């Protein structure tokens, strides 16, 4: 649940902080946090590289957590009747499901990733997908529709 603390605080502070950041980023056509911080301090390439490195190091545990969740979910789905007994065993690296998931995700990112960035580009489909995902998570977390308890799931 702590994963949601940062975005929640960001949205509570959005009227004050995020709006100004978005305005500055749109005006200067900035597309990453490293560019943003670098631009605020004289377009320093060293500072931009340091921020990019810090972002890479800080996101690595989250990516590892996501890969582990995918692997465990796959193991539970494959072993459904015995799902409670599912444990991850030590296998050879080429038999590890996490490796193959990571490789498929890497190929997907290479093929469909950020080939061209435009700060003014809008991604309504991505926003809609995130909104639907958030609703599904709310339903899953609370076990029923969050609006007036209309339906038990």
Asked whether the predicted pLDDT for residue 58 surpasses 60, the reply is yes
The Cα–Cα gap between 4 and 40 comes to 27
User: Mean pLDDT over all residues of the chain?
Assistant: 76
The Cα–Cα gap between 100 and 115 comes to 23
Cα separations in angstroms, 91 against 44, 48, 63, 84, 99: 45, 40, 21, 20, 11
Q: Report the share of the chain in percent with pLDDT over 90.
A: 7
pLDDT tens by residue, 104-152: 878 887 777 655 556 566 667 777 778 888 888 777 776 654 454 444 4
Look up the pTM and report it: 0.53
Cα separations in angstroms, 69 against 6, 39, 64: 20, 36, 9
């Amino acid at each position: 649940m702590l994963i949601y603390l940062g975005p929640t605080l960001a949205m509570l502070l959005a009227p004050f902080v995020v709006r100004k950041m978005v305005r500055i980023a749109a005006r200067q056509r900035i597309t990453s946090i490293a560019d943003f911080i670098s631009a605020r301090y004289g377009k320093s390439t060293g500072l931009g590289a340091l921020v990019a490195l810090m972002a890479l190091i800080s996101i690595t545990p989250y990516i590892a957590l996501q890969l582990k969740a995918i692997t465990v979910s796959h193991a539970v789905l494959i072993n459904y009747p015995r799902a409670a007994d599912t444990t991850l065993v030590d296998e050879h690296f080429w038999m590890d499901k996490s490796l193959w998931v990571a490789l498929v995700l890497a190929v997907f990112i290479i093929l469909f990733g950020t080939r061209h960035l435009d700060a003014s580009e809008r991604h309504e489909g991505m926003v809609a997908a995130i909104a639907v995902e958030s609703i599904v998570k709310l339903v899953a977390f609370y076990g029923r529709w969050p609006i007036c308890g209309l339906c038990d799931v």
